Amino acid sequence: MTARRPKQSAPVDDESKLWQQLCGELREERDRLGDELSLVKAERDRYLKALYAQTQESFDFNKEELLSQVEKGQSLRELIAELDSRGG
Domain ranges of the chain: 11-56, 59-88
User: What confidence category does residue 21 fall into, taking pLDDT thresholds of 50, 70 and 90?
Assistant: very high
User: What confidence category does residue 86 fall into, taking pLDDT thresholds of 50, 70 and 90?
Assistant: confident
pLDDT at 81: 81
Do residues 59 and 84 make contact, with C-beta atoms less than 8 angstroms apart?
A: no
Q: DSSP assignment, residue 2?
A: P
CB 69: neighbour CB atoms within 10 A?
17
pLDDT at 1: 53
Q: Is 66 exposed, middle or buried (0-12, 13-18, 19+ CB in 10 A)?
A: exposed
**C-alpha 20, offset from chain centre:** 33
Higher pLDDT, 52 or 12: 52
Per-chain mean pLDDT for the chain: 81
pLDDT at 28: 98
